[in-house]
Structure 1
Amino acid sequence: MEKLVSSWFSNKTLPQSYIFPPEARPGNHVIPRCNTIPVVDLSKALAHDRIVIVQQILKASQEFGFFQVVNHGVPENLVTDTMNVFKEFFELPAEDKAGIYSEDLKRPCRLYTSSSNYDHENVHLWRDNLRHPCHPLEDCIKIWPQKPTRYREIVATYSIEAKKLGLRILELLSEGLGLGSGFFGDKLSESLLLSVNHYPPCPDPSLTLGVSRHCDPNLLTILHQGDVYGLQVFKDGEWIGVEPLHNAFVVNIGHQLQVYLN
């Protein structure tokens, strides 16, 4: 537990073990915000514009590898409640989180800091992470955090809505690829993993990173970034910032899905 950034960050200078080498750190330069990142209005997929939306999603997936969705059907109050309960979890006293904290990679529900390779990495990431499976829900919910007391109820509802959204996007993509209805609806999309990153206030964010550059191995990643401008993507040889949109989700195409798009 003593390794968690959230347990010791207050009024501290940035430890040397969190300072990235100059070529890898963000520095003080401003990352340009991209206003050309595709934004898909999913409400139009229910009407006569469905074909247009299918092609819009397919094009964004092939050219960008990601897009944002609005009017996605996940209730805004549910999203707000879920983000709040995550915040409440990370603000719990250490003793209430001790049962979740683990460096065991095989543990399905665990709280850890930096990455799964903490003891062997040269520089640590400025983040704590909570992750656990969400499917099948009736089995997975038994291993979720018991505090805050409303965690299981709210996150269960959120995970159901997130899975519906993911399957909806995959269905639209399968139409665009000519794969037929329900192609991604079975074993390919059965697994659902929740990953919550917590970034405590950093004394010098120009020297460290919350998450390093990476690609996702799965089919889809559905990300809620809130109103915080921090997500960056690499396109056409440069890093660009993703402008947070109100009540939107960022959809990232993972390696498994890229096989069908290439």
Structure 2
Amino acid sequence: MGVERVQDIATSTFMDTIPAEFIRSENEQPGITTVPGTVLECPTIDFSDPDEEKLLAQIFAASTGWGMYQIVNHDISNEAIAKLQAVGKEFFELPQEEKEVYAKDPNSKSVEGYGTFLQKELEGKKGWVDHLFHRIWPPSAINYRFWPKNPASYREANEDYAKNLHKVVEKLFKFLSLGLGLEAQDLKKAVGGDDLVYLLKINYYPPCPRPDLALGVVAHTDMSALTILVPNNVQGLQACRDGQWYDVKYIPNALVIHIGDQMEIMSNGKYKAVLHRTTVSKDETRISWPVFLEPPQDLEIGPHPKLVNDKENLPKYKTKKYCEYVYNKLNKIPQ
């Protein structure tokens, strides 16, 4: 098969040890660095609140002060979310050779496909996670070669979820724009408008004999403009707050919103991309379904022109093509 998958390692590990490449340094090990006994309650926002001024204020405060929040009553049915979760879980429970059919081409620049390693890590360390990437919107960006044919309802569940996600995305971009004093459509236009890419990732974190030593995904901010995430009910998401790492409270059927790098750049630093990471469980499998809202690869992103000038509001970030930004970040090249 060529690449050893974490799922295989997990099922073949019967002792209380893990391979050395999964053991983090002491300043990263969750057993040492997690604040014990405290669950971080990041802002929870009722997305159905008819008071738009209140909703705007809540989203602005959470985006500037936290970079992460959870939205409830978002009009995506529990059934649609449950179907998305069920077909993703079923895919990762297939025999290994069936999953490998969707493996990403090692020579491709695209992240799409089934895989294990995504970016360069210092000292060759690895995350305790396998993943599947594919675009779910717009139709012109979809490559069905990476959409599993088994389970049979995989495509229907993902297309239904993508369709339901549109209203949430439109509403978020509207309030984020208005919060900066922009027109309702300004940020959405700046990030690609109708060509905005919805990139789904399924993260599969199998049980780990030493969850105190390993991380699923290392500390990072998302490269996207926004990330909308659905987790399963296994604790794992952590956020950094005042230099400390905390577990983030799980709320059933909530959508977790992350401000990403491109949103921070477009807002000229007003909105803050959240530093987060993922821990793993000794006994349970954690799965998450983030959708990264990304500009088209060749679109140039920089501070929004209406938010900068040559006097008191100088641009704090360089303007560059999104593909260049991604390449630099994945390869640890200063931006």
TM above 0.5: yes
Q: Please state how far the C-alpha of 1:83 moved relative to its aligned partner.
A: 0.6
1:115 to 1:185, Cα distance in 2 relative to 1, 3 A: closer
**Structure 1 consecutive aligned stretches of length 4 or more whose deviation exceeds 4 Å:** none
Give the direction of change, closer, same or farther, for the CA distance of 1:33–1:159 in structure 2 (3 Å limit). same
Deviation string for 1:128-173 (max 9, x for gaps)? Answer: 0111112222651522222211111111111222233122111111
User: 2:179: which partner in 1?
Assistant: 176
Could you tell me which runs of 5 or more consecutive residues in structure 1 were left unpaired when the two chains were aligned: none
Q: Which residue of 2 aligns with 1:65?
A: 67
Quote the RMSD (CA, aligned, Å): 2.0
Tell me, yes or no, if the aligned pair for 1:129 and 1:195 is still in contact at 8 Å.
yes
Query: Where does the alignment leave 5 or more consecutive residues of structure 2 unmatched?
Result: 271-335
CA separation of 1:222 and 1:50: change in aligned 2, threshold 3 A: same
Matches within 5 A, 1:33-182: 33-35=39-41, 37-44=42-49, 47=50, 49-102=51-104, 103-107=106-110, 109-117=112-120, 122-137=124-139, 140=142, 142-143=144-145, 144-182=147-185
Is the Cα–Cα contact under 8 Å of residues 127 and 218 in structure 2 kept in the other structure?
Answer: yes
2:236 and 2:247 in contact (8 A); partners too: yes
> CA deviation digits over 1:107-136, x for unaligned, max 9?
453111133448x86111100011111222
Aligned to 1:197: 203
Output the CA distance in 2 between the equivalents of 1:164 and 1:121: 42
CA deviation profile, 1:209-246 (whole Å, cap 9, x unmatched): 10000011221011112322211111222112210001
Q: Percent identity?
A: 33
What SS does the aligned partner of 2:202 have?
Answer: strand
Q: Contact between 1:100 and 1:109, CA under 8 Å: does it hold in 2?
A: no
Q: Secondary structure at the match of 2:142?
A: helix
* Higher RCO structure, 1 or 2 (CA under 8 Å, sep 6+): 1
Structure holding more strand per residue: 2
Q: How many residues align?
A: 257
Change (3 A) 1:11 1:142: closer
Q: Deviations over 1:67-105 (max 9, x none)?
A: 110001111111011111100000111221122113344
- What secondary structure, in the 3-state scheme, does the structure 2 residue paired with 1:245 have? coil
Distance in 1 separating the partners of 2:143 and 2:167:
18
Question: How many angstroms apart in 2 are the aligned matches of 1:84 and 1:121?
Answer: 36
